[in-house]
Amino acid sequence: MTIGAVLGTGVLTLPALAAQVAGPASLVAWFALVLISIPLAATFAGLGARHPDGGGVATYARLAFGRRAATVVGWWFYLGVTMGAPPAAGFAGSYVADLLGGGRTTQIATATVLIAVVVGLNWFGIRISGRLQLVIAGALALLLAISTLVALPHVDLANLRPFVPYGWGAVGAAAALLVWAFAGWEAVASLSGEYANPEREIRIVTAAALVVIGVLYLGVAFAVVAVLGPNPSNAPLSDLLALGFGPRARPVTTIVAVLLSLGAMNAYLASASRLGAALGRDGSLPSWWAVTHAGVPRRSLVVVATLATATLVVVGASGLPLESTLLLVTGAFTLVYVIGTAAATKLLPRWSLVWWCAVVSLVATAILAILTGAHMGGAIAIAIGALLYTVATRRQA
């Protein structure tokens, strides 16, 4: 579930988009974000081990800063998932449409099916969806590794020169773009209550996921830049596989796209549904949300599915690209990271190694928030709604 949450749909197109923004220097942005992920993952692993709860980051914010902060953070994540599901499914839908034809109609139909499949899997609990996730993660790791390895014989080091064609400022812009590819550590925080032994197991899982994700991301990013050159297409994995196996290998990229979307959506919907139940329990949402069925937060899951489908319908009917909500989601999730890491500096043992990881993560995520600044409008609107809710329900709380 952890690998699926972080190894998301961004790997399908972001290596190419980052290369278009910063050229070969985009590799610096990838490497920097892999490094930032180490203290960030360690921070959330430390929090999850000490405070295992379905509320995840909202619980950490509550313990550190109180109910209002928890409500704001919880709403950011909960609504961010509902806005993020259509673009996540849309990435896969565009690859399916490219393979089968049908254009936008096929893309929207694919997105609808993916949302329905993920909701169905989580309806029966995390053991069922988790087993499927294990298969998905293994298949993805294999396919991405093959994409990189078959392309390496075609590396042309001349593609790495000039290394900084657009200036070092473009590296910062590429890093802001790549945040989407590294989001996910906050999502698995809400699954911390599902571990049999959180204090031990979360650390092992986080370390394994960091290694797998770092190797795959850096390998794909290097292959895209060094093999495809300064102007790769927006479907770089297809191009890499075609170099190694010929044009008939392109359908494999569609399989990768569907698996990436399915894995990321599975982890995020599982996490969001548990967060919603925790928010209902703690008064940050109506208590109706807190009701579970045999431990499965089905009411919260239904709300997430309904809002995600409504977002898909609105975006689809408007004619806008399905990815149009992506930057709104990035802004909300960046702020979730800022509050989560700030909470960690209060909750984790002061001056310990994991506390220093939290301090580094707070500084790094604050810088990313500044880089994302123009896209914070949606997050600010959600925060205002959350604060109004806390005022309206203060007496009941």
- pLDDT, one tens digit per residue, over 2-25 is 887 787 767 777 888 889 889 999
Residue 274 confidence (pLDDT) = 93
* Other CB atoms within 10 A of residue 149 CB: 13
- Distance from the Cα of residue 357 to its chain's centroid: 20
- pLDDT, one tens digit per residue, over 99-146 is 888 888 999 999 999 999 999 989 988 777 777 878 888 888 888 888
- pLDDT, one tens digit per residue, over 171-221 is 988 887 787 677 778 777 888 888 889 888 999 999 999 999 999 899 999
Q: What would the mean pLDDT of 242-259 be, rounded to a whole number?
A: 80
What the block records as the tokens of 324 is 């149009």
pLDDT above 70: percentage of residues in the chain: 98
Question: Residues near 162 by Cβ (< 8 Å), separated by ≥ 6?
Answer: 23, 24
For residues 303 and 289, the answer to whether their CB atoms sit within 8 Å is yes
Residue 204 confidence (pLDDT) = 93
Q: What would the mean pLDDT of 311-321 be, rounded to a whole number?
A: 89
- Give bridge partners of residue 119 from the DSSP assignment: none
Place of tokens 């990838």: 30
What the block records as the tokens of 46 is 């430390």
- pLDDT, one tens digit per residue, over 333-355 is 889 999 999 999 999 999 999 99
Integer angstrom CA distances of residue 261 from 93, 137, 264, 362, 384:
9, 11, 5, 28, 31
- pLDDT, one tens digit per residue, over 17-54 is 889 889 999 999 999 989 988 999 999 999 999 999 98
Q: What share of the chain is helix, strand, coil (3-state, %, to 5)?
A: 85, 0, 15
- pLDDT, one tens digit per residue, over 57-83 is 999 999 999 999 999 999 999 999 999
Q: Report residue 292's pLDDT band, with 50, 70 and 90 as the boundaries.
A: very high
Question: Residues near 374 by Cβ (< 8 Å), separated by ≥ 6?
Answer: none
Closest by CA to 181, choosing from 381, 2, 389, 11, is: 11
Q: What Rg do the C-alpha atoms of the chain give, in angstroms?
A: 20
Question: Residues near 382 by Cβ (< 8 Å), separated by ≥ 6?
Answer: 72, 75, 76, 79, 332
What is the torsional sign of CA 277, 8, 310, 379? positive
Q: What would the mean pLDDT of 241-254 be, rounded to a whole number?
A: 79
Q: What would the mean pLDDT of 234-258 be, rounded to a whole number?
A: 79
CATH class of the region 2-392: mainly alpha
Q: How far, in Å, CA of 91 to CA of 175, rounded?
A: 20
Residue 260 confidence (pLDDT) = 82
Place of tokens 């998905």: 136
Residue 131 confidence (pLDDT) = 79
Q: How far, in Å, CA of 239 to CA of 235, rounded?
A: 7
- Distance from the Cα of residue 67 to its chain's centroid: 25
Range name among 109-123, 208-222, 255-269, 307-321 with the lowest pLDDT average: 255-269
Backbone φ and ψ of 301, nearest 5° = -65, -40
What is the residue type of 112?
T
Rounded to the nearest integer, the mean pLDDT of the chain is 88
Place of tokens 């910063």: 22
What is the residue type of 246?
G
